[in-house]
DNA sequence: AGTGATGGGATAGTGGCACTCTCCAAGTCA
DNA sequence: TGACTTGGAGAGTGCCACTATCCCATCACT
């Protein structure tokens, strides 16, 4: 498959594919002569993943490159590889370390994790982007006048725990490591809009049920 | 309070506040002379909401203006006002109407809503941004080779239904209409990173529990 | 062999967006 | 009075994801 056909089959303009090649988001095709390269189904698949990351997931190009590097890195163990791919995904805003709201939020998060018995998160949590994003979001909420304590978050966290179990059940259906990691990335990025849409639909439904149209 | 103090108390540069004033995200201060204006606590509060929308929620300025207009519009009924505010929030990518993947995804979503008995969503769903976002996300997943049928989505939807119930319970604590709408906007925008962070933490926890570190 | 089309590489340019800089006239405070 | 501040307005900045252009080796076809 030549670049033009790759473009035709994926719907991505050739100029954009060249850009992705330059940025290292897409591995170069197999050189068949000095000025021509051949692309395969793997390129098409990867290209669609790139598009999903960038357009649906709004992942910046630089972060997408890191994610894909982790996906491709055979030298990593499966867990590390998956973690590396997910940790490279951007996560909202970073908190300022010495912001008092952030300190209070961090304490509340720690208490929440302790209450839930999520020991893993307590050990490695401070390194996880998800932990920091959570702290930053809670600090912002507090600053806006919507304080959230651990007790208030606990039911949400328990529900997300059940969701995570569903996520991992689904991952187990994919046999090979690469497929698992790719599926994990797709799930992390593409299931987020799905979940959030479902939440909004559920809110509309519940609101109509309680208060009528 | 003068502009400089508003800036100092909010941490937002004066130039940026001027920009928000120009863009209509912040109502003008009370003119105290030809070249001076007085700002109150309401301005500070609104400014923080604007920042939260734009920085945490990544809401484009134009969309934020619409959201805030709905929040301020006393002439709307409460339900409509809340809906207007939430519907103005951006929701990922729009699907192309005649994309076969999107058509199939829409059918699957309709079946899901029917299975769940979410009649409201089925009636007004096609208009709701959440509905269209869901269809677009599912179409993208299908194109990537991760098809999701209604049966697969149902448990997620049920969990989001419980989450929505929690959301609305929380909203009921706010007595006045304006507070309710503001809280709803804050919840829609700021709880999303909270939920997603909790999901990632839960995934890490569950993964460690199943497979070890 | 000749010739127009195509493919791939490199570079510079575009457009959108969220600010941010600069200037100015009109006020304020010591 | 004179230095400083304030609010308004327009132009400029920086970032980022593309995209348009150019070049020329190679390919397909005659």
Q: Summarize pLDDT for B34-89 with one digit per residue, the tens.
A: 888 999 998 998 999 999 899 888 899 999 999 898 888 888 776 677 777 777 77
Contact B199 A194 (CB under 8 A): no
DSSP states of A66-89: HHHHHHH-TTS-HHHHHHHHHHTS
Tell me, yes or no, whether B26 and B53 share the same domain: yes
Contact B92 A193 (CB under 8 A): yes
> What is the Cα gyration radius of chain A?
21
pLDDT for position A192? 86
Tell me, yes or no, whether A18 and A105 share the same domain: no
Q: What is the pLDDT of residues A55-75, one digit of tens each?
A: 888 899 999 999 898 888 888
β-pair partners for B31: B37
> Whose C1' is closest to the CA of A12: which nucleotide?
D18
Tell me, yes or no, whether A38 and A67 share the same domain: yes
Q: Among A29, A64, A85, which residue terminates a domain?
A: A85
Nearest protein residue to C24's C1' (by CA)? B35
> Whose C1' is closest to the CA of B19: which nucleotide?
C19
Tell me, yes or no, whether B132 and B206 share the same domain: yes
Tell me, yes or no, whether A46 and A15 share the same domain: yes
Residue A84 has pLDDT above 80, yes or no: no
Specify the range with the lowest mean pLDDT, choosing from A120-129, A142-151, A158-167.
A120-129
Interhelix angle A14-23/A41-51, nearest 10 degrees: 90
Residue A33 has pLDDT above 90, yes or no: no
CA B107 to chain CA mean position, Å? 25
Tell me, yes or no, whether A147 and A200 share the same domain: yes
pLDDT for position B58? 87
Protein CB footprint (7 Å) on chain C nucleotides? 6-11, 17-22, 25-28
Residue of B131 and A213 predicted with greater confidence: B131
Q: Among B64, B85, B106, which residue terminates a domain?
A: B85
Q: Which of A8-12, A126-130, A183-187 has the highest mean pLDDT?
A: A8-12
> Whose C1' is closest to the CA of A22: which nucleotide?
C9
Give CA–CA dist B71/B78, Å, rounded: 10
Give CA–CA dist B177/B81, Å, rounded: 9
Which residue out of B51, B138, B148, B160 would a mutagenesis test of the A interface target, given it has the greatest number of A Cβ atoms within 10 Å? B160
pLDDT for position B93? 65
Tell me, yes or no, whether A147 and A77 share the same domain: no
A144 touches strand D (CB under 7 A): no
A4 touches strand C (CB under 7 A): yes
B19 touches strand C (CB under 7 A): yes
Contact criterion met (CB below 8 Å) for B89 and B59: yes
SS3 label, residue A91: coil
Q: Which two tokens stand for residue A19?
A: 């850009």
Tell me, yes or no, whether A190 and A126 share the same domain: yes
Tell me, yes or no, whether B106 and B160 share the same domain: yes
Query: Residue A132 is part of which domain span?
Result: 94-211
Give CA–CA dist A110/A87, Å, rounded: 20
Closest residue in A to B89 (Cα–Cα)? A200
Tell me, yes or no, whether B97 and B194 share the same domain: yes
**Which of A209, A125, A105 shows the shortest CA–CA distance to B208?**
A125
Contact criterion met (CB below 8 Å) for B36 and A132: no
Give CA–CA dist B197/B213, Å, rounded: 19
SS3 label, residue A141: helix
Give CA–CA dist A31/B180, Å, rounded: 61
SS3 label, residue B115: helix
Phi then psi dihedrals of residue B30, to 5 deg: -75, 120
Contact A168 B120 (CB under 8 A): no
Q: Among B52, B85, B118, which residue terminates a domain?
A: B85
DSSP states of B134-162: HHHHHHHHHHHT----HHHHHHHHHHHHH
> Which CATH number belongs to the domain containing residue B50 in this structure?
1.10.1660.10
Closest residue in B to A167 (Cα–Cα)? B203
DSSP states of B19-48: HHHHHTSSPPPEEEETTEEE--HHHHHHHH
Question: What is the 3-state composition of chain A as percent helix, strand, coil, each rounded to the nearest 5?
Answer: 75, 5, 25
Contact A134 B198 (CB under 8 A): yes
pLDDT for position B16? 96
Give CA–CA dist B44/B41, Å, rounded: 5
Mean pLDDT of chain B: 85
Task: Identify the segments of chain B with pLDDT beneath 70.
Answer: 78-79, 91-97, 120-126, 213
How many domains is chain A built from? Answer: 2
Contact criterion met (CB below 8 Å) for B51 and B59: no
Contact B194 A166 (CB under 8 A): no
Tell me, yes or no, whether A193 and A106 share the same domain: yes
Sign of the Cα torsion B138, B139, B140, B142 reads positive
Tell me, yes or no, whether B55 and B141 share the same domain: no
* C1' (D25) to CA (B162) span, angstroms: 63
pTM: 0.86
């Amino acid at each position: 498959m030549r670049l033009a056909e790759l473009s035709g089959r994926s719907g991505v303009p050739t100029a954009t594919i060249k850009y992705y090649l330059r940025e290292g988001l897409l591995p170069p095709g197999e050189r068949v002569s000095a000025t021509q390269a051949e692309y395969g189904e793997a390129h098409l698949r990867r290209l669609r993943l790139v598009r999903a990351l960038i357009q649906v997931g709004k992942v910046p190009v630089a972060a997408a490159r890191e994610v894909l590097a982790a996906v491709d890195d055979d030298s990593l163990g499966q867990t590390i590889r998956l973690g590396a791919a997910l940790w490279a995904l951007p996560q909202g805003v970073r908190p300022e370390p010495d912001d008092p709201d952030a300190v209070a939020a961090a304490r509340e998060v720690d208490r929440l994790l302790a209450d839930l018995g999520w020991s893993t998160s307590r050990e490695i949590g401070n390194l996880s982007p998800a932990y920091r994003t959570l702290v930053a979001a809670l600090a912002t909420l507090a600053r806006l006048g919507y304080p959230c304590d651990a007790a208030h978050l606990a039911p949400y966290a328990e529900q997300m725990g059940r969701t995570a179990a569903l996520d991992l059940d689904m991952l187990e259906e994919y046999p090979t490591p690469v497929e698992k990691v790719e599926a994990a990335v797709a799930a992390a990025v593409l299931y987020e809009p799905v979940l959030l849409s479902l939440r909004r639909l559920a809110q509309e439904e519940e609101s109509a049920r309680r208060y009528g149209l």
